[in-house]
Amino acid sequence: MVLPLLVAGGCLAVWTRSEIVGELPLARPIAGTFTAKVLDIQPQPALERDRLILAMREPGSGRAIKVRVNVPGAGIVSRVNVGDVVRITGRFMPPAPPMLPGAYNFARTAWFSGLAGSGTVTGDVQVVERGEPGGGWLSGLRRKLSAHIRARIGDDGAGIAGALVTGDRGGIAEADDQAMRDSGLAHLLSVSGLHVSAVVGAVYVLFVRGLALIPWLALRVRLPVVAAAAGALGGVVYTLISGSEVPTVRSCIGALLVLGALVLGREGLSLRMLAVAAFCVLLLWPEAVTGPSFQMSFSAVLALVALSTAGPIRRFVAPRDESLAMRMMRHVAMLLLTGLVIDLVLMPIGLFHFHRAGIYGALANVLAIPLTTFIVMPLLGGALLLDIIGAGGPLWWLADVAIEWLMGIAHWFASRPGSVTILPAGGTGAFLVFVAGGIWLGLWTGRIRWLGLPFALLGAGLLAAATPPDILVSSDGRHVGLVEAGGARLFVLRAGGKGGYAHENLMELAGMEGEPVALDRWPGARCNRDFCAIMIERDGAKWRILVSRGRDAVPERALAAACDRSDIVIADRWLPRSCRPRWFKADRNMLQRTGGLAVHLSSAQVDTVADSQGEHGWWRPAKADGGKNFPPP
Note the pLDDT tens digit of each residue in 413-435: 988 887 888 888 877 889 999 99
* CA neighbor of 571 nearest in space, from 608, 533, 515: 533
Mean per-residue pLDDT over the chain, rounded: 85
Whether 624 shows a pLDDT value over 70: the answer reads no
Report the Cα 356 to chain-centroid distance in Å: 13
Per-residue confidence band for 498, with pLDDT thresholds at 50, 70 and 90: low
Per-residue confidence band for 135, with pLDDT thresholds at 50, 70 and 90: low
Q: Which residue has the higher pLDDT, 1 or 590?
A: 590
Measured at the CA of 188, the angle between CA 71 and CA 430, to 5 degrees, comes to 95
Q: What is the DSSP letter of 256?
A: H
> Kind and range of the H or E element at 533?
strand 531-538
Determine the average pLDDT of the residues in 459-468: 88
Determine the average pLDDT of the residues in 20-40: 90
Determine the average pLDDT of the residues in 255-262: 81
Whether 363 shows a pLDDT value over 90: the answer reads no
Per-residue confidence band for 342, with pLDDT thresholds at 50, 70 and 90: confident
Report the Cα 215 to chain-centroid distance in Å: 50
Determine the average pLDDT of the residues in 487-500: 74
Determine the average pLDDT of the residues in 373-389: 87
pLDDT at residue 627, as a whole number = 43
Tell me how crowded residue 332 is: count the other CB atoms within 10 A of its CB: 12
Q: Is the pTM of this model over 0.95?
A: no
Residue pair 421/175 in contact (Cβ under 8 Å)? The answer is no
Q: How far apart are CA 318 and CA 330, in angstroms?
A: 10
Q: How far apart are CA 632 and CA 184, in angstroms?
A: 43
Q: Which residue has the higher pLDDT, 247 or 188?
A: 188
CA dist list (Å): 394 to 65, 145, 163: 47, 18, 21
Sheet holding 531-538, edge to edge: 526-527, 531-538, 541-548, 568-570, 584-586
For β-strands 356-358 and 420-422, DSSP reports them as: antiparallel
Q: What percent of the chain has pLDDT over 90?
A: 25
Tell me how crowded residue 476 is: count the other CB atoms within 10 A of its CB: 14
Low-confidence winner among 248-257, 350-359, 574-583 (lowest mean pLDDT): 248-257
Q: Which residue has the higher pLDDT, 461 or 501?
A: 461
Q: How far apart are CA 145 and CA 390, in angstroms?
A: 15
Determine the average pLDDT of the residues in 67-89: 85
Q: How far apart are CA 120 and CA 629, in angstroms?
A: 37
> Kind and range of the H or E element at 542?
strand 541-548
Tell me how crowded residue 563 is: count the other CB atoms within 10 A of its CB: 20
CA dist list (Å): 45 to 68, 70, 151, 155, 272: 17, 12, 13, 10, 42
> pLDDT (tens digit, 9 = 90+) per residue, 99-126?
999 888 999 999 998 999 999 998 888 8
Measured over the CA atoms of residue 154, residue 157, residue 159 and residue 163, the dihedral's sign is: negative
Whether 522 shows a pLDDT value over 50: the answer reads yes
| Secondary structure class of 41 (helix, strand, coil) | strand
Q: What is the DSSP letter of 376?
A: I
Whether 90 shows a pLDDT value over 60: the answer reads yes
pLDDT at residue 253, as a whole number = 80
Determine the average pLDDT of the residues in 305-313: 84
Report H helices in 288-355: 292-309, 311-317, 324-354
Q: In angstroms, what is the C-alpha Rg of the chain?
A: 27
Whether 626 shows a pLDDT value over 50: the answer reads no
Residue pair 363/335 in contact (Cβ under 8 Å)? The answer is no
Tell me how crowded residue 521 is: count the other CB atoms within 10 A of its CB: 11
Report H helices in 22-102: 76-79
**Strand ranges in 221-273 using DSSP code E only, listed in sequence order:** none
In DSSP terms, which residues pair with 49 in a beta bridge? 44, 72
